[in-house]
Amino acid sequence: MTLTHFSRILPASRLAGTVLTVAAGLTAVVLFGPQMLRIVAHATPHGPDIPLFLKQPTVIQAHILAAVASVLVGAVILAARKGRTFHRTMGWIWASLMAVTAGSSLFIVGLNGDHWSLIHLLSGWTLVILPFAVWAARKHRVDVHKRAMTGIFWGASIVAGAFTFLPGRLMWTMFMG
Protein backbone atom coordinates (compact mmCIF):
# COMPACT_ATOMS: atom_id res chain seq x y z
CA MET A 1 0.00 0.00 0.00
CA THR A 2 1.50 3.34 -1.02
CA LEU A 3 1.22 6.83 0.42
CA THR A 4 -0.86 7.77 -2.61
CA HIS A 5 -3.48 5.27 -1.47
CA PHE A 6 -3.71 7.00 1.93
CA SER A 7 -4.20 10.39 0.29
CA ARG A 8 -7.36 9.38 -1.56
CA ILE A 9 -9.99 9.61 1.12
CA LEU A 10 -13.52 9.81 -0.19
CA PRO A 11 -15.64 12.73 1.06
CA ALA A 12 -18.29 10.20 2.17
CA SER A 13 -15.81 8.52 4.50
CA ARG A 14 -14.92 11.89 6.03
CA LEU A 15 -18.62 12.55 6.60
CA ALA A 16 -19.04 9.11 8.19
CA GLY A 17 -16.05 9.79 10.45
CA THR A 18 -17.49 13.15 11.47
CA VAL A 19 -20.91 11.64 12.20
CA LEU A 20 -19.35 8.86 14.29
CA THR A 21 -17.21 11.35 16.22
CA VAL A 22 -20.18 13.59 16.97
CA ALA A 23 -22.27 10.57 18.01
CA ALA A 24 -19.51 9.33 20.32
CA GLY A 25 -19.14 12.80 21.82
CA LEU A 26 -22.86 13.17 22.46
CA THR A 27 -22.99 9.70 24.01
CA ALA A 28 -20.13 10.61 26.34
CA VAL A 29 -21.81 13.87 27.33
CA VAL A 30 -25.10 12.11 28.08
CA LEU A 31 -23.44 9.31 30.08
CA PHE A 32 -20.75 11.25 31.93
CA GLY A 33 -21.78 14.91 31.62
CA PRO A 34 -23.59 15.35 34.96
CA GLN A 35 -20.80 13.68 36.94
CA MET A 36 -18.12 15.70 35.10
CA LEU A 37 -19.99 18.95 35.79
CA ARG A 38 -20.06 18.19 39.53
CA ILE A 39 -16.32 17.51 39.52
CA VAL A 40 -15.45 20.55 37.41
CA ALA A 41 -17.65 22.79 39.58
CA HIS A 42 -15.37 22.03 42.55
CA ALA A 43 -12.12 22.54 40.62
CA THR A 44 -9.73 25.27 41.67
CA PRO A 45 -7.62 26.29 38.65
CA HIS A 46 -4.08 27.38 39.48
CA GLY A 47 -0.63 27.61 37.96
CA PRO A 48 1.30 24.40 37.39
CA ASP A 49 2.25 22.43 40.49
CA ILE A 50 6.01 22.34 39.84
CA PRO A 51 6.88 20.16 42.88
CA LEU A 52 4.36 17.55 41.65
CA PHE A 53 5.90 17.72 38.16
CA LEU A 54 9.41 17.23 39.57
CA LYS A 55 8.27 14.16 41.55
CA GLN A 56 7.31 12.39 38.31
CA PRO A 57 9.64 9.88 36.62
CA THR A 58 11.98 11.32 33.98
CA VAL A 59 10.04 9.71 31.12
CA ILE A 60 6.83 11.49 32.20
CA GLN A 61 8.66 14.80 32.57
CA ALA A 62 10.17 14.42 29.08
CA HIS A 63 6.75 13.45 27.69
CA ILE A 64 5.01 16.49 29.21
CA LEU A 65 7.73 18.94 28.12
CA ALA A 66 7.83 17.56 24.56
CA ALA A 67 4.02 17.53 24.32
CA VAL A 68 3.63 21.12 25.51
CA ALA A 69 6.43 22.30 23.23
CA SER A 70 4.92 20.43 20.25
CA VAL A 71 1.54 22.12 20.78
CA LEU A 72 3.18 25.55 20.92
CA VAL A 73 5.45 24.94 17.91
CA GLY A 74 2.56 23.33 15.99
CA ALA A 75 0.36 26.37 16.57
CA VAL A 76 3.13 28.64 15.27
CA ILE A 77 3.55 26.46 12.18
CA LEU A 78 -0.17 26.47 11.45
CA ALA A 79 -0.26 30.27 11.71
CA ALA A 80 2.93 30.90 9.70
CA ARG A 81 3.42 31.05 5.95
CA LYS A 82 4.07 27.62 4.47
CA GLY A 83 6.97 26.41 2.35
CA ARG A 84 9.58 28.87 3.58
CA THR A 85 12.77 28.13 5.49
CA PHE A 86 11.05 29.06 8.77
CA HIS A 87 8.28 26.53 8.10
CA ARG A 88 10.78 23.79 7.26
CA THR A 89 12.95 24.49 10.30
CA MET A 90 10.01 24.65 12.69
CA GLY A 91 8.54 21.59 10.99
CA TRP A 92 11.64 19.52 11.73
CA ILE A 93 11.58 20.74 15.33
CA TRP A 94 7.88 19.88 15.61
CA ALA A 95 8.35 16.44 14.04
CA SER A 96 11.19 15.73 16.48
CA LEU A 97 9.07 16.86 19.43
CA MET A 98 6.17 14.68 18.26
CA ALA A 99 8.50 11.70 17.90
CA VAL A 100 9.75 12.25 21.47
CA THR A 101 6.18 12.68 22.73
CA ALA A 102 4.88 9.55 21.00
CA GLY A 103 8.01 7.51 21.75
CA SER A 104 8.12 8.43 25.43
CA SER A 105 4.44 7.57 25.82
CA LEU A 106 5.26 3.96 25.00
CA PHE A 107 7.14 3.81 28.30
CA ILE A 108 4.29 5.31 30.32
CA VAL A 109 1.85 2.73 31.65
CA GLY A 110 -0.48 2.77 34.59
CA LEU A 111 -3.96 3.48 33.29
CA ASN A 112 -4.33 -0.19 32.50
CA GLY A 113 -2.22 -1.73 35.24
CA ASP A 114 1.27 -2.26 33.88
CA HIS A 115 0.09 -2.71 30.31
CA TRP A 116 -0.45 -0.43 27.36
CA SER A 117 -3.86 1.15 26.94
CA LEU A 118 -5.76 2.18 23.83
CA ILE A 119 -3.99 5.56 23.74
CA HIS A 120 -0.77 3.73 22.87
CA LEU A 121 -2.34 2.86 19.50
CA LEU A 122 -2.34 6.59 18.75
CA SER A 123 1.33 6.78 19.72
CA GLY A 124 2.20 3.93 17.39
CA TRP A 125 0.13 5.46 14.59
CA THR A 126 1.92 8.80 15.08
CA LEU A 127 5.32 7.11 14.90
CA VAL A 128 4.29 5.38 11.65
CA ILE A 129 2.61 8.33 9.91
CA LEU A 130 5.14 11.02 10.90
CA PRO A 131 7.93 9.75 8.60
CA PHE A 132 5.44 9.33 5.75
CA ALA A 133 4.28 12.92 6.19
CA VAL A 134 7.89 14.18 6.14
CA TRP A 135 8.55 12.04 3.06
CA ALA A 136 5.48 13.54 1.37
CA ALA A 137 6.84 17.05 1.95
CA ARG A 138 10.22 16.11 0.54
CA LYS A 139 8.50 14.68 -2.55
CA HIS A 140 6.41 17.90 -2.87
CA ARG A 141 3.17 16.03 -2.18
CA VAL A 142 1.81 19.05 -0.34
CA ASP A 143 -1.76 17.75 -0.12
CA VAL A 144 -0.69 14.50 1.56
CA HIS A 145 1.80 16.29 3.82
CA LYS A 146 -0.75 18.89 4.90
CA ARG A 147 -3.46 16.35 5.67
CA ALA A 148 -1.12 14.04 7.59
CA MET A 149 0.57 16.72 9.66
CA THR A 150 -2.68 18.52 10.43
CA GLY A 151 -4.24 15.21 11.47
CA ILE A 152 -1.31 14.40 13.74
CA PHE A 153 -1.43 17.87 15.28
CA TRP A 154 -5.15 17.84 16.03
CA GLY A 155 -5.46 14.14 16.87
CA ALA A 156 -2.24 13.35 18.70
CA SER A 157 -1.64 16.76 20.28
CA ILE A 158 -4.89 18.60 20.84
CA VAL A 159 -7.48 15.84 21.29
CA ALA A 160 -5.17 13.44 23.14
CA GLY A 161 -3.85 16.36 25.19
CA ALA A 162 -7.38 17.35 26.16
CA PHE A 163 -7.94 13.87 27.58
CA THR A 164 -4.96 14.35 29.91
CA PHE A 165 -6.97 17.04 31.69
CA LEU A 166 -9.72 14.67 32.80
CA PRO A 167 -10.30 14.64 36.56
CA GLY A 168 -7.97 12.26 38.37
CA ARG A 169 -5.23 12.42 35.71
CA LEU A 170 -1.83 14.02 36.36
CA MET A 171 -2.44 17.18 34.31
CA TRP A 172 -5.76 17.75 36.08
CA THR A 173 -4.02 17.47 39.42
CA MET A 174 -1.17 19.75 38.31
CA PHE A 175 -3.53 22.54 37.23
CA MET A 176 -6.83 21.97 39.02
CA GLY A 177 -6.22 19.80 42.06
Pair 168, 93 in one domain: yes
Do 35 and 110 sit in the same domain of this protein? no
The reply to whether 33 and 116 lie within a common domain is: no
Q: Is residue 23 part of a domain?
A: yes
Tell me, what's the pLDDT at 59? 93
DSSP annotation of 175 reads: H
Residues 33 and 76 in one domain: no
Q: Which domain holds residue 115?
A: 45-175
Burial (0-12, 13-18, 19+ Cβ within 10 Å), 85 = exposed
Residues 82, 50 share a domain = yes
Same domain, 28 and 105: no
Question: CA angle at residue 106 from 157 to 94, to 5 degrees?
Answer: 35
- Flag whether 1 is in a domain: no
Residues 74 and 161 occupy one common structural domain: yes
The verdict on residue 115 lying in a domain is yes
| Regions of the chain short of the pLDDT cut 50 | 6-7, 10
> Does 123 reside within a domain?
yes
Q: Do 96 and 145 belong to one domain?
A: yes
Q: Could you give the residue ranges of the DSSP H alpha helices within 56-109?
A: 58-79, 85-105
Predicted confidence at residue 5, as pLDDT, reads 53
Q: How many domains does the chain have?
A: 2
| Dihedral pair phi/psi, residue 112, rounded to 5° | -120, 45
Put residue 110 in one of left, alpha, beta given phi > 0 → left and psi -120 to 50 → alpha.
Answer: left
Amino acid, res. 12: A
Same domain membership, residue 55 and residue 28: no
pLDDT of residue 140: 93
Q: What is the pLDDT of residue 139?
A: 94
Is 129 part of any domain?
yes
Residue 21 falls within a domain, yes or no?
A: yes
Whether residue 5 is contained in a domain is answered as no
pLDDT of residue 138: 93
| Residue 128 in domain | yes
Instruction: Indicate if 161 and 118 belong to the same structural domain.
Output: yes
Shared domain check, 23 and 107? no
Rounded to whole angstroms, how far apart are CA atoms 108 and 102? 10
Q: Which residues make Cβ contacts (< 8 Å) with residue 98, sequence separation at least 6?
A: 66, 70, 126, 130, 152, 156, 157
156-163 CB contacts, 8 Å cutoff, 24+ apart? 156/98, 156/101, 156/102, 156/122, 156/123, 156/125, 156/126, 157/67, 157/70, 157/71, 157/74, 157/98, 157/101, 158/71, 160/119, 160/122, 161/67, 161/71, 163/119
Same domain, yes or no: 58 and 135? yes
Query: What digits encode the pLDDT tens for the residues 63-75?
Result: 999 999 999 999 9
